[in-house]
Amino acid sequence: MNSIQFIIQQAMNTGYLSLQSENQLRHLLHTTQYGAETLWAFTQLQVAVMDGLVVQQSRQQSLKRQAQQQFLAA
């Protein structure tokens, strides 16, 4: 299992993708050669996020900021 797959597996097991892991994953995807198995694992992570099985810390922070802005604008 490579570093990309390890990060993905960790997120799938915990149901949470931290900002640090997300940034590391993004960096590895841009700088590392990987095969079809790793690409498939990344696709499965994306599906899990869309289905709500994995929560992204970055998305939580973004939604929180949006809610605060809407509250202040009201």
The one-digit pLDDT tens for each residue of the chain (74 residues) are 789 999 999 999 999 999 999 999 999 999 999 999 999 999 999 999 999 999 999 877 666 777 777 777 87
Quick one: pLDDT at residue 30? Answer: 96
Cross-strand pairs, 17: 56
Quick one: pLDDT at residue 11? Answer: 98
Query: Residue 43 to residues 13, 24, 49: CA-CA distances in angstroms?
Result: 15, 16, 10
Kind and range of the H or E element at 62? helix 57-73
Total domains present in the chain: 1
Quick one: pLDDT at residue 63? Answer: 67
Quick one: pLDDT at residue 73? Answer: 80
Quick one: pLDDT at residue 69? Answer: 77
Kind and range of the H or E element at 74? none
Domain extent for 10: 3-73
Annotate 46-71 with b (16+ C-beta within 10 A) or e (fewer).
Answer: eebeeeeebbbeeeeeeeeeeeeeee
